[in-house]
Amino acid sequence: MAIITLTTDFGLKDHFVGVLKGSIYSELPDAKIVDISHDVAPFNIQECAYILKNSYNSFPKGSIHIVGVDSEATQENQHIVVLINGHYFVSANTGVIGLITSEIKPDKVVEIKIPDSLHGSFPVLSVFVQVACHIARGGTLEVVGKPFNDLKDLREFMPRIVDDGKKIIGSVIYIDNYGNVVTNIQKHLFEAYRKGREFELLVRNHKIKKIHKAYNDIIDFSVEKSKQKGDGDLLALFNSSDYIELAIYKSNLKTVGGASTLLGLDYRDTIMIDFL
């Protein structure tokens, strides 16, 4: 039985997640359901894409990923199923799939067309679950939809290269549970334009001149302990998904604050890199 994952902005206070799981088990008693996240900020497509893009490849091919963010169908927000590298994504055409497929071409895309399906206020339940269970039983995409060639592409969230390659202007795309700030500048882009040059990462009134590989790389054990950087200090690093991330070492968002609150950064705020 294929794995079915759930990524939504439903939270856990209400009954919605439980209803989804109950409906899947009613259709497929032996189903394997995995929660990726239910804490995506409401209607935040970029945040949803970041979480899903950096998690789906950890699952075996044949997995089915239900995306429950901004899922109501409109003329511009069609219900779709996308097959990418052996993975099925059941979603609305919000741009989330376009962000995931920015570096890999989909194998197949169909617009969901199910006769007599209920298009109410809970399409993740009435449509997406039905389609996911169909696929999990070995059903083909041609049965639930027709070919579709109009995936939304959210290019506005891509970093911009300016000043003849001397600057990269990026933005905040995700803030994690620790208050760490993830930018949309990836390591391969940074290195492609750096060309061995020194640089300054500019954020608010801070300048950062080094990007680490791990959080504790900020500590220089060769200097006297009283002079070492450590808890509470700002750093930049390439995170596990190779995005430039800003963090306060060993911070706590709920007490002293994290990079997001201490630097005053929020979703889509600007981060700039100057190559010297």
Give the pLDDT score at 100.
80
**Distance between CA atoms of 59 and 57, rounded to whole angstroms?**
5
DSSP string, the chain: --EEEEEES--SSSSHHHHHHHHHHHH-TT-EEEEEES-PPTT-HHHHHHHHHTTGGGSPTT-EEEEESS---BTTB-EEEEEETTEEEEEESSSHHHHHGGGS--SEEEEE--TT---SS-HIIIIIHHHHHHHHTT--HHHHEEE-------GGGS-EEETTTTEEEEEEEEE-TT--EEEEEEHHHHHHHHTT--EEEEETTEEE--EESSGGGG--TTS-GGG---TT-EEEEE-TTSEEEEEETT-BTTTTB-HHHHTT--TT-EEEEEE-
Give the pLDDT score at 152.
86
Give the pLDDT score at 28.
96
114-153, pLDDT tens digit by residue? 876 666 779 999 999 999 999 999 999 999 999 999 888 7
Give the pLDDT score at 235.
94
40-50, pLDDT tens digit by residue? 999 999 899 99
CB atoms within 10 A of CB 204: 12
Q: Which fold has domain 3-147?
A: Rossmann fold (3.40.50)
Give the pLDDT score at 117.
64
92-102, pLDDT tens digit by residue? 999 998 888 77
Tokens (6 digits) for 119: 């298009």
Give the pLDDT score at 153.
79
Give the pLDDT score at 105.
87
Distances in Å between the Cα of 90 and the Cα atoms of 45, 66, 134, 145, 219 are: 14, 5, 11, 11, 44
pTM over 0.75: yes
Domain boundaries, the chain: 3-147, 160-275
Average confidence (pLDDT) over 240-248 = 94
The whole-chain average pLDDT of the chain stands at 91
Q: Do domains 3-147 and 160-275 have the same CATH topology?
A: no
Share of the chain above pLDDT 70, in %: 97
Which residue has better confidence, 232 or 60? 60
163-190, pLDDT tens digit by residue? 999 999 999 999 998 999 999 999 999 9
Average confidence (pLDDT) over 256-274 = 93
Tokens (6 digits) for 139: 């059903």
**Distance between CA atoms of 42 and 39, rounded to whole angstroms?**
8
Q: What is the CATH number of domain 160-275?
A: 2.40.30.90
